[in-house]
Amino acid sequence: MAWQFNSQEAVFVQIANRLRGDILKGLYPPDSQIPSVRHLATQAAVNPNTMQKALTCLEEEGLLYAKGTIGRFVTSDVCVLEAARERIRRDSVRNWLRQANELGISKQELIQYIQKEDENA
């Protein structure tokens, strides 16, 4: 099925986010080859140039590296992977805090809510 995109962010940014998630979840393990641009573009139903742009982003972040003409591979550098994971965690927590702030929930209350929901889960 074609991937879904929101209207605010550039499509290549959304693709990069999704692929980054897939890499960090281990869907594409370290040192494994990811599918070709054309294959991924067809799967996502996006223009191959857009897919290319997303992969270039991930290359610049160090998550992917190109091996000549063979294709792109996931990095085996554990530090890079862990740093990317850490960034995502930090960004999510910042999001919760911002949303809590908008709803007028103090940090103390937020922690209480989390503990309560965790007990109920």
CB of residue 101 vs another protein: minimum separation in angstroms? 24
Handedness of CA 44, 31, 79, 68 (dihedral sign): negative
CB of residue 36 vs another protein: minimum separation in angstroms? 11
Question: Cα(53)–Cα(44) distance, rounded to whole angstroms?
Answer: 14
Asked whether position 1 contacts another protein by CB under 8 A, the answer is yes
39 phi, psi to nearest 5 deg: -65, -50
> Which residues, 64 to 103, sit near another protein by CB under 8 A?
none
CB of residue 56 vs another protein: minimum separation in angstroms? 12
Which of 58, 81 has the CB closer to another protein?
Answer: 58
Which residue type occupies 6?
N
Binding test (CB under 8 A) with another protein, winner from 18, 30, 35, 48: 48
Binding test (CB under 8 A) with another protein, winner from 17, 18, 35, 50: 50
Asked whether position 60 contacts another protein by CB under 8 A, the answer is no
Estimate to the nearest angstrom the gap between the alpha carbon of 107 and the chain centroid.
Answer: 27
Handedness of CA 37, 41, 44, 46 (dihedral sign): positive
Pairing state between β 71-74 and 64-67: antiparallel
Binding test (CB under 8 A) with another protein, winner from 23, 44, 64, 74: 44
Question: Cα(116)–Cα(64) distance, rounded to whole angstroms?
Answer: 40
Residues of this chain that interact with another protein (CB under 8 A) are 1-3, 5, 7-12, 38, 41-50, 53
